[in-house]
Amino acid sequence: MKGQGPDSDIVMSSRIRIARNLQSHPFPMLATNQQSQEVLDKVTEALQNEELGTISRFDLIPLSELSELQKRVLVEKHLISPNLANESRNGAVILSENESISIMINEEDHLRIQCLCPGFQIKEAWDLASQIDDVFEGNLDYAFDERRGFLTSCPTNVGTGIRASVMMHLPALVLTQQINRILSAITQVGLAVRGLYGEGSEAIGNLFQISNQITLGQSEDEIIDNLYSVARQIIEHEKAARQKLISESRTRIVDRVMRSYGILSHASIMDSKEAAQRLSDVRLGVDLGIITQVSPHIMNELMVMTQPGFLQQQSGEKLSPEDRDIRRAELIRERLSTI
């Protein structure tokens, strides 16, 4: 969240996720405890490859060693999926030193390699993920079919096994009521639109995850290029919408931004949904130059730090919903007052 990348005023992050399975073992949902442990052992052995050491230092963390709260924080940081946190047998995660790379073991598939980059760097994320995938492929026997490609637990991932996505902050398209038309067009070109936490999640705080739907019948480069092209168009539409807000409704947008800034700076209680919307307003104000005393990375950090798991981890105890709302407001006030 502290990193800066191209078009980071609109694209929060770019992500590549690659699904892979081992030829000699059943998919995780059918594997026994012994079989899933064998997969974990094989991946652990492959992790010792010297080539991976040139990319980063990696730590393997068995999920059984983590508390429910620690797992929730990893979900909120997008380092593991809710599925891995809640249901996995012999699940583990491999994290790079700066956590930009996470590799889930025994989730829906044996391996899920994820690379996150700040801003609009989907091609850079793909290059890094592909490099890691090549190392593992040289040490593990992947489940692969000449006609169907890489075999996965879910048919929607068969083929390349790749999911490419960008997390976009699109407040101006929402405020100018263009978002539904844009999202409808996106789905017609083979892309999916989801919320902050992927499939089934709500798009709160004007954050939308745009990703490919098709993994079979297209090459990895075609999938990346299609997402890149569409995301570039969305960026231009959002920029145009922001300029329209400033030129045609400046007083209204300044009032909206400053009201949200005032509430965030002084509120004593704040639920997660309101916090996400208010932070979105202020982030838009920062990007438009309406608010100059707040840096964008502080707003990015608060979008993560105000999630329930983070609040409880920071407090060192389990909090009731009301206590979380009080702590959330306190945290935001503290962070904004240090500026």
As annotated, the binding site for ATP includes 13-17, 78, 112, 163-167, 194-199
Give the closest residue to 59 by CA, choosing from 102, 16, 96, 18.
96
Distances from the Cα of 322 to the Cαs of 272, 327, 329, in angstroms? 11, 9, 11
Quote the CA–CA distance of 176 and 63 in Å, as a whole number.
44
Binding residues: 13-17, 78, 112, 163-167, 194-199
| Cα–Cα distance, 200 to 286 (Å, whole number) | 30
Tokens of 191: 């892309």
Cα Rg of the chain (Å, integer) = 21
CA-CA distance, 205 to 174, in Å (whole number)?
10
DSSP bridge partners of 329: none
From CA 47, how far away is CA 252, in angstroms rounded? 54
Beta strands in 21-100 (DSSP E): 58-62, 92-96
Amino acid at 76: E
Other CB atoms within 10 A of residue 237 CB: 20
Interacting residues of 296 by C-beta distance below 8 A, sequence separation 6+? 8, 9, 283, 286, 287
Nearest of 233, 313, 20 to residue 138 by alpha carbon: 20
Paired tokens of 220: 């990895």
Q: How far apart are CA 189 and CA 225, in angstroms?
A: 12
Which is nearest to 281 in space by CA: 242, 334, 308, 337? 242
Find the helix or strand (DSSP H, E) in which 280 lies: helix 272-287
CA–CA separation, 316 and 37 (whole Å): 32
